[in-house]
Structure 1
Amino acid sequence: MSEVLVTVSRGANLESVHRGSIAVVDLQGNLLYSVGDPGRSLYARSAFKPIQAVPLVESGAADHYGLNELELAVCCGSHNGEPMHTRTVHSILDKLGFTEEALTCGVQTPYMKSTYEELLRSGGHPSPIHNNCSGNHAGLLALAKYMGSNPHLYRNPDHPVQLRVREMLRELAGVQEDEISSAVDGCGIPTLMLPLNRLAAAYAQLGDPSTLAPERASAIKRVTGAMVAHPEMVSGTGEYDSDVTRVLGGKVIAKVGAEGVHCTALLNQGIGIALKIDDGNSRAAYPAALEVLRQLGVLASGEQQLLDAHLTPVVRNHLGETVGRIEPVFTLHKA
């Protein structure tokens, strides 16, 4: 039931297509627009991270350990492993009294090529701090320590921290416990499966939490406010999530997930957007996510120009020559 969302051309000819589904949902959970199958199930992957950060603030843990906006933003991020990211994660760990060995996300080379090259030139080597999920794990560590639960087991599915974030997703998405299933994510923590339109509903709540209890609404505003204030912490230099949040100046927060998942919240509008690329290729997720914003009228002309490189990316060969383009081709269907 999915549809072709994005095409890839080489020269004048079509070379590849990426199929997928999109759901646009309002604050009441109503489906506003869709493409493909808005009810399909998917793992939220890293699109879950801003939701995982809400209990960190709501519980009082963020204030207890003195986490600032920069640190809260990196807890929501899938970062490039740039020095600004690793410094910020180290700052969180210092406040908790932990070293990076407490992170159980695994070793990963930095996404940023120049950072990786400099690391090797300096005689260093990749470590858990370079993992794109290290900020998220540092936030989970903080919550575990604050709750008095074993911080070394924070990624176990039955750990109080994981139960807390699972309940947060369930409540924001408006789903029953038996509608959520879990598996192990790339960084070792549980990743949760739910319908695409329910993930969009959770992002609608992030976009406008005014109908929620005051403590939760305040926590959500602090999380999204940190992402807006420091978009560079959410992904990194030249990355879509950081660029779209910065260019749109507080109108949205955006968060990618692995395997072609992407979510956007329209701030102060209570509209959530979730999409899934069937083949899991994120090169199609970003043009599709930006095209949704364009069709919804979110982009001013000057903003679209600044983001054109993400809307219709060029395909280059190893000589740096432009040999093709990636282009969204779908139309949102009004529900």
Structure 2
Amino acid sequence: MSGPVDMVEVWRGNLLESIHQGHAVVCDEAGEIVEAWGDPEAVIYPRSSCKMIQALPLIESGAADAYNLTSDHLALACASHNAAAIHNDLVSAWLSDLGLSDDDLRCGPQTPRDAEVRDALIKIDQSPCQIHNNCSGKHAGFLTLNKHLGGGPDYEKIDHPVQQANLAAFEELTGETSPAFGIDGCSAPNHACTVHGFARSLAFFATAQDRSDTRSKAAVQLVDAMTKHPELVAGEGRACTELMRAMDGNVALKTGAEAVFSAIIPEKRLSVAVKITDGAFRASEAAVAAILVKLGVLDLSHPATIKRMTPTVTNWRGLEVGHIRPTAALR
């Protein structure tokens, strides 16, 4: 069993100052490894990069159709959003349509990442709500599924039917029995798997258009929603949104806490799973961008690519003092 490998370098002047290590796997349509870095069998929490798996039961169960959810709703169910107005307004309307409110969410309040919304709350001396949580779209999806199933209010608990449905989908797609679960930042369970297992689950989404079963149709809907609405999946200035736009909606991307990144590439029937061991987002963004360039789906010269894959390091005066780049193994 190998360990993590050097994946991203941070240079200051002519000195290599820091190195980020990690694991990554590219899977083909059969879920087999096409290329790997580090240890494919390393066990990780996918965190928010697996939200599309958590959204599958929402569609499979019939809940999405029963409550007339659109592609906007489905994109938001897969999102880690900025809590900009477009996100907050949609979540608020979604809860209202369900006859529910902010009080029914179990994700907890969070300061909006969107500066305009954050500053507006400060000006009126109002505390953030749970709707402002970056996972509120996922939780609105949980609440929709819960209402359809007739479950109790504590839908975030591991033994609740909503979370048991999520676990079943996760284990079936990864092809693994999850060895552990942790509680995510939004209070929902997050199940562990290997990097290969995670990439294998993403390969299911990358090939879903080739099949006609209920789960595959649901997967197609989610990928289409993410690529159609990149601004809902994350938001302005975010890697997921900017890189999906750079690839003209041909690839679905999703980041997760502690530097996990996932990519679904239907046109090539490939998937990518990345985990940086020290949890640095700058490294996971650089690594996934480098792999997407390597796979021929992301333009090396696109501004969004340069911003994430080979950004400059600047100081407080705005002076360029260094740069970040993928290691030779990824380039």
What is the TM-score normalised by the length of structure 2?
A: 0.95
Instruction: Mark the CA change 1:306 to 1:43 in structure 2 (over 3 Å): closer, same or farther.
Output: closer
Task: Please say if 1:166 is aligned against 2:175.
Answer: no
Cα distance, 1:330 vs. partner?
A: 4.1
2:324 to 314, 323, 326: 326
CA distance in 2, matches of 1:306, 1:187: 29
Please give the alpha-carbon distance, in whole angstroms, between the structure 2 residues aligned to 1:213 and 1:199: 22
* Cα RMSD, aligned residues only: 1.6
Contact 2:26 2:35 (8 Å CA) reproduced: yes
Higher deviation after alignment, 193-202 or 207-216: 207-216
Whichever residue aligns with residue 217 of structure 2, its letter is S
What SS does structure 1 have at the residue aligned with 2:219? helix
Please report how far the alpha carbon of residue 232 of structure 1 lies from its aligned counterpart in structure 2 after TM superposition.
0.5
Matching residue of 1:19: 21
Question: Partner of 2:70 in structure 1?
Answer: 68
* Structure 1 segment 89-108 matched on structure 2, within 5 A: 89-108=91-110
Note the C-alpha offset of 1:171.
Answer: 1.3
Partner of 1:84: 86
Q: Which residue, out of 121, 145, 148, partners 1:146? A: 148
Q: Which amino acid aligns with 2:263?
A: T
Q: Could you tell me how far apart the structure 2 residues matched to 1:306 and 1:101 are? A: 38
Deviations 1:121-144 (A, max 9, x none): 233321111111111111011101
Aligned residue in 1 for 2:284: 285
Distance in 2 between residues matched to 1:268 and 1:92, nearest whole Å = 32
TM-superposed deviation, 1:321:
3.0
Mapped pair 1:246 → 2:245: yes
* Contact 2:258/2:281, CA 8 A, preserved across alignment: yes
**Whole-angstrom CA distance in 2 between matches of 1:330 and 1:37:** 18
Size of the alignment, in residue pairs? 329
Check whether the contact 1:33–1:332 (CA below 8 A) recurs between aligned residues. no
Deviation at 1:114, TM superposition (A): 3.7
User: Which residue identity does 2:31 align to in structure 1?
Assistant: G
Give 2:181's aligned residue: 182
Give the Cα–Cα distance (whole angstroms) in 2 for the partners of residues 111 and 267 of structure 1.
Answer: 30
Question: Given the alignment, which residue of 113, 128, 131 partners 2:115?
Answer: 113
Moved more, 11-20 or 311-320: 311-320
2:137 paired residue number: 135
Does the residue aligned with 1:20 lie in a helix, a strand or coil? strand
Structure 2 residue corresponding to 1:35, chosen from 9, 15, 37 = 37
What TM-score, normalized to structure 1? 0.94
Structure 2 unaligned blocks of 5 or more: none
In 2, are the aligned partners of 1:4 and 1:330 still within 8 Å (CA)? no
Aligned to 1:228: 227
User: What is the CA–CA distance in structure 2 between the aligned matches of 1:117 and 1:317, rounded to whole Å?
Assistant: 25
The answer (yes or no) to whether the contact 1:55–1:165 under 8 Å persists in 2 is: yes
The runs of 4+ residues in structure 1 deviating greater than 4 Å are 210-213
Equivalent position amino acid for 2:274 in 1 = L
The code of the aligned residue for 1:289 comes to V
Q: Partners of 2:124 and 2:246 in 1: how far apart? A: 34
Q: Which runs of 5+ in 1 are unaligned?
A: none
Q: Hey, what does 2:124 align to over in structure 1?
A: 122
Aligned equivalents of 2:42 and 2:166: distance in 1? Answer: 22
Shift of 1:212: 5.0
Q: Is the 8 A contact 1:288 1:311 kept in 2?
A: yes
CA 34–330 in structure 1, closer or farther in 2 if over 3 Å, else same: farther
CA contact (8 A) 1:250 1:267 kept: no
1:242 to partner: Cα distance: 0.8
SS of the residue 2:208 aligns to? coil
What one-letter code is carried by the residue in structure 2 that aligns with 1:7? E
Distance in 2 of aligned mates of 1:321 and 1:332: 28
Cα distance in 1 for partners of 2:242, 2:34 equals 26
Identical amino acids, percent of aligned pairs: 37
2:197: which partner in 1?
Answer: 198
Contact 2:211 2:217 in 1 (8 A): no
Shift of residue 250 of structure 1? 2.5
Once the two structures are TM-superposed, the CA of residue 27 in structure 1 deviates from its matched residue by 1.9
Asked if the contact 1:107–1:131 (Cα under 8 Å) also holds between the matched residues in 2, the reply is: yes
Q: 1:12 Cα shift? A: 2.6
Aligned AA for 1:280?
G
Deviation at 1:4, TM superposition (A): 0.9
Q: CA deviation at 1:186?
A: 1.1
CA distance in 1: counterparts of 2:328 and 2:117, whole angstroms:
36
Query: 1:10 deviation in Å?
Result: 1.8
Q: 1:212 to 1:153 in 2, by over 3 A?
A: farther
Secondary structure of the corresponding residue to residue 77 of structure 1:
coil
* SS of the residue 1:106 aligns to: coil
Q: Given residue 291 of structure 2, which amino acid in structure 1 is its aligned partner?
A: V
